[in-house]
Copies of this chain bind each other. A is one copy, B any other.
Amino acid sequence: MSKLTIALDIMGGDHGPPVILPAAVKAIQLHPDVHFTLCGDEDTIKAGTQPLTDSERNRVTIVHCSQVVEMGEAPTSALRNKKDSSMRRVIELVESGEADACVSAGNTGALLTLSFYLLKTLSGIDRPALINMMPTTGHHNVFLLDLGANVNCTPEILFQYGVMGSVLAQEVAGIESPRVALLNVGEEDIKGNAQVKSADQLFKDAPGINYIGYVEGDDIFTDHADVVVTDGFTGNVALKSSEGLAKLVINEVKRQSQKNFYTRLLAKIAFPLLKSIYNSVNPDQYNGASLIGLRGIVIKSHGNAQKDAFYYAIVQAMKEAKMHLPEKIKTKIETVLLEQL
């Protein structure tokens, strides 16, 4: 197998290089079989990669970029005015084949627009989607999409999302026949809006997809389905509101623990237990949403990702690159579309 190359946007995210560079250094140190292309301000990158040994440095290419896409910048402005931005550069490296995947913690809208414009979608796919794994009470994780790539989705787009999600569950999670469900406000046939009802019919008519019908928001986490499909508005809210609740729990653990001497003592004794509960719901470990449906691999890290969270996003990029995910999606969507003829 030839060497993987992962391109990293060093300038993106709420915290920028001070968080991204240490994560990159960690990835470089822990993955000696991978080449990294770091895009951004050259001096900053050089300063931040000083911990690397000479042999580690041999696996790193620095590409100086004079521009940065700002977090609040309009996607169209990023597309028109930021031709030399680190975000654009990492996507161009994937487009040209110089990188197998790229990772950015930058402005989601700009990343979507640039990726869509530069990489184009696979044939049979109208729109890319943001997808990520989430924990469940069962043995499997669940893939939720779309997490915010398209706030308006037609039934056809929702259907394509189901097919793509199915491929990820199969390839990334190793589930033989992934259970695909549509997110709805009830499980009965009469529930939902027109768009969800039409998508339901498309799934019912599709061969080769293990469609199990509607699930509600709480079922995302109950191992009912392996893939949960929804539009980008709802999916983004579902993701962020459950993250918000996870943070509330963590906050509550801290607050209750610090109430008095007795609770501080209890918390100290129960620390290993609290820690493993924290880990199981800590959104950081699920960082690294994949932008799928494109002719290349783009991983979106949380804007506010800390070092370890950004590192997880890099690991996700390597995983997808190793399994040639876009090719797998292309094959599956072609099969499903052909079988429908």
Which A residues fall within an 8 A CB radius of B?
72, 74-75, 108-109, 135-137, 148, 151-152, 183, 185-186, 188, 190-193, 216-222, 230, 232-234, 236-249, 251-253, 256-257, 263, 266-267, 269-270, 272-274, 276-277, 280-281
Q: Are A74 and B241 in contact (CB under 8 A)?
A: no
The answer for the CA separation of A247 and B237 in the assembled complex, in Å, is 18
Q: Are A109 and B186 in contact (CB under 8 A)?
A: yes
The answer for the CA separation of A233 and B190 in the assembled complex, in Å, is 14
Q: Are B221 and A245 in contact (CB under 8 A)?
A: yes
29 A–B pairs (Cβ distance < 8 Å), ordered by A? A108-B186, A109-B191, A137-B247, A137-B251, A151-B185, A183-B237, A216-B237, A216-B240, A217-B236, A217-B242, A218-B241, A221-B241, A222-B244, A222-B247, A230-B237, A242-B242, A245-B245, A245-B246, A245-B281, A249-B280, A252-B277, A252-B281, A253-B277, A256-B273, A256-B277, A263-B272, A263-B273, A266-B273, A267-B273
* Residue on B nearest A232 in the bound complex, by CB: B185
The answer for the CA separation of A341 and B241 in the assembled complex, in Å, is 37
Residues of B within 8 A of A244 (CB): 217-222, 242
The answer for the CA separation of A327 and B267 in the assembled complex, in Å, is 48
Max chain B CB contacts within 10 Å: which of A75, A242, A251, A276? A242
The answer for the CA separation of A7 and B75 in the assembled complex, in Å, is 54
Q: In the complex where A191-B109, A244-B218 touch, is A237 in contact with B277 (Cβ < 8 A)?
A: no
Residues of B within 8 A of A186 (CB): 108-109
The answer for the CA separation of A91 and B110 in the assembled complex, in Å, is 51
Q: Are B219 and A185 in contact (CB under 8 A)?
A: no
Residues of B within 8 A of A136 (CB): 248
The answer for the CA separation of A253 and B186 in the assembled complex, in Å, is 28
Residues of B within 8 A of A217 (CB): 236-244
Q: Are A190 and B74 in contact (CB under 8 A)?
A: yes
Q: Which of B190, B221, B277 contacts A109 (CB 8 A)?
A: B190
Residues of B within 8 A of A253 (CB): 277
* Residue on B nearest A75 in the bound complex, by CB: B190
Residues of B within 8 A of A237 (CB): 183, 185, 216-217, 230, 234, 237-238
Q: Are A249 and B246 in contact (CB under 8 A)?
A: yes
Q: In the complex where A109-B190, A251-B137 touch, is A270 in contact with B281 (Cβ < 8 A)?
A: no
* Residue on B nearest A276 in the bound complex, by CB: B256
Residues of B within 8 A of A222 (CB): 244, 247
Q: Which of B135, B234, B247, B257 contacts A218 (CB 8 A)?
A: B247
Q: Which of B74, B218, B281 contacts A249 (CB 8 A)?
A: B281
Residues of B within 8 A of A192 (CB): 151, 233
The answer for the CA separation of A230 and B269 in the assembled complex, in Å, is 42
